[in-house]
Amino acid sequence: MSTLQVDILNPKAGKLLKDLASLGLIEIKPMTEDGFLKALEKIRVKAKGNTPSLEEITAEVELVRSKRYAEKKG
């Protein structure tokens, strides 16, 4: 069994799906709120305006690498 999300663009498609369900070929369930997806969307909205530049990312990576190297050295 596979699960799909279908966005119905035309009311005729909705009727077809209901007909398939009445024949016992598919099962239609209402969407439930997924806490993970909700949290992910909140994070995406917050991060949208605060995206770091490539230079900022590179600087952070280099900082972490230098700290690791210093710890290994001693």
Decide if 1 is inside a domain: no
Decide if 42 is inside a domain: yes
CA triplet 30, 33, 35: central angle to 5 degrees? Answer: 155
Task: Give me the mean pLDDT over the 66-74 stretch.
Answer: 87
Decide if 53 is inside a domain: yes
Decide if 19 is inside a domain: yes
Q: pLDDT tens-digit profile of 12-58?
A: 999 999 999 999 999 998 877 778 888 888 888 888 877 888 999 99
Nearest to 26 by CA among 35, 14, 40: 14
Decide if 38 is inside a domain: yes
Decide if 24 is inside a domain: yes
pLDDT at res. 35:
81
Query: pTM of whole model > 0.85?
Result: no
Q: Which domain holds residue 42?
A: 11-73
Decide if 3 is inside a domain: no
Decide if 6 is inside a domain: no
Overall number of domains in the chain? 1
